[in-house]
């Protein structure tokens, strides 16, 4: 027989294990999404730097590829673990986030340079909020990318900002995804 103190300790251990497993599963799925977006952000920024006239079209393509990528990640994860990780709610959430960002850019009449900084900062806000709920890795990744984006915005002149953002946003998401895979 165990006494109430031992039972309480056992329940605490179980709760801690459940929390760590949940965080591990979230990091596993999120790391794949971060790796995908790291590559896509790198490609989008480099393409915009090489062919600035077509930058907007490259980003539309990046968003399209990311939507297909999320469907593929969801199918892969469901086949692997029989758990659905991306459903209609996630798609609707992404649409709402994008719609609000477009609304802000349009009515704010952002310059291309301002938009180059706005989008990563805006998206990293959601990463940092996820960090509050799901694990500090999200918070660290988001805050680091925001800080480096602001440094680039204020101190890197002209089109070189796109190269900076390829490294900061693309590289930061990729490194963050690799870090999460280890956690």
The tens digit of pLDDT for each residue in 64-110 reads 999 889 888 888 877 877 767 677 787 888 889 989 999 998 899 99
pLDDT in tens, 120-160: 999 999 999 988 988 888 899 999 999 999 999 999 999 99
Q: How far apart are CA 60 and CA 70, in angstroms?
A: 15
Q: Does pLDDT of 24 surpass 70?
A: no
Tokens of 179: 């870090």
pLDDT of residue 23: 63
What's the 3-state SS for 98-116?
HHHHHHHHHHHCCCHHHHH
Averaged pLDDT for residues 44-70: 92
Q: How far is CA 33 from CA 29, 44, 87, 105, in A?
A: 7, 16, 14, 25
With 0.95 as the threshold, say if the pTM is over it: no
Q: What are the boundaries of each domain within the chain?
A: 13-182
Residue 136: Cβ within 10 Å count: 11
**43: confidence class by pLDDT, cuts 50, 70, 90:** very high
Q: How far is 78 from 18, CA to CA, in rounded Å?
A: 20
What pLDDT shows up at residue 159?
A: 93
- Residue 109 per-residue DSSP state: T
CA 96 vs. chain centroid, Å, equals: 16
What pLDDT, on a 0 to 100 scale, did the predictor assign at position 21? 61
């Amino acid at each position: 027989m165990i006494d109430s103190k031992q039972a309480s300790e056992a329940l605490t251990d179980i709760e801690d294990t459940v929390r760590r497993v949940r965080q591990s599963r979230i990091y596993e799925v999120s790391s794949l999404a971060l790796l995908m977006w790291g590559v896509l952000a790198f490609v989008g920024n480099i393409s915009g730097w090489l062919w600035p006239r077509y930058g907007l079209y490259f980003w539309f393509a990046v968003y399209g590829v990311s939507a297909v990528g999320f469907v593929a990640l969801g199918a892969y994860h469901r086949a692997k673990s029989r758990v659905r990780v991306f459903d209609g709610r996630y798609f609707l959430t992404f649409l709402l986030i994008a719609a609000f960002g477009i609304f802000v850019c349009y009515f704010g009449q952002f310059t291309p340079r301002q938009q180059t900084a706005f989008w990563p900062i805006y998206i990293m806000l959601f990463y940092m909020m996820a960090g509050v709920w799901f694990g500090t890795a999200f918070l660290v990744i988001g805050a680091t990318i925001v800080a480096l984006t602001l440094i680039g915005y204020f101190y890197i002149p002209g089109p070189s900002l796109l190269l900076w953002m390829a490294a900061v946003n693309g590289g930061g998401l990729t490194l963050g995804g690799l870090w999460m895979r280890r956690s």
